[in-house]
Amino acid sequence: MAIRTILRYPDKRLRNKALPVTAFDDSLRALVDDMAETMYAAPGVGLAAPQICVSLRLFVIDIAGEDEPSDLKVFINPTFTAKQGEIAWEEGCLSFPGIHEEIERAEKVTVRAQDVHGNFFEVTADGLLAVALQHEYDHLEGTLMVDRVSLLKRRFIDREMKRRQLSDARP
């Protein structure tokens, strides 16, 4: 297991549309282990493969609270089979450290995906899990939270991320 480097906005590699997972083998399981370790170390509630520069359609989510046992969920080749309602949620993203923006999403979603063995399963979720599923799915399409906020907020985030990039680069 290893902690991978998380790409940060505006890294262009975050914009690639990810490819389907076709091999459900040991290297996929090793990748999932690394993604989980990277997400927990960050810490974050979700991480998509494109965020660690792996252009494949999978993500991990764990929305368990600090006092709850971990509850890792892995979604491979996910698709939404149903979406309903509307909810506004303040979201963060490991590729936008320190940025939190309210974003509108479907309130309830049903996702069909595969597990690490290639078996299909379906999950219906609302609340934080529904939001996390939609957020992580966006990463597979190369869509980022800046694409879902107003132009004004997008400019603010652009400035903020550039400023941080500069201050991170200083010794």
Hey, which residues does 84 pair with through a beta bridge? 108
Region near Zn ion per CB under 5 A, out of 20-28, 62-70, 85-93, 154-162: 85-93
Segments in 42-150 forming alpha helices (H): 127-140
The answer to whether the beta carbons of residues 146 and 152 sit under 8 Å apart is no
Nearer to Zn ion, 15 or 118 (CB): 15
Return the residue of 21, 93, 133, 161 that touches Zn ion, per CB under 5 A.
Answer: 93
Active-site residue, selected from the candidate residues 102, 136, 141, 160: 136
Is residue 61 within the footprint of Zn ion (CB under 5 A)? no
Is residue 129 within the footprint of Zn ion (CB under 5 A)? no
102 labelled catalytic: no
Question: Residue with the closest Cβ to Zn ion?
Answer: 93
Is residue 133 within the footprint of Zn ion (CB under 5 A)? no
Q: What are the CA-CA distances from residue 134 to residues 52, 80, 82, 137 (Å)?
A: 18, 9, 12, 5
Hey, which residues does 104 pair with through a beta bridge? 88
Amino acid 68 reads E
Residues that bind Zn ion (CB under 5 A): 93
Instruction: Tell me which residues are annotated as active site.
Output: 136
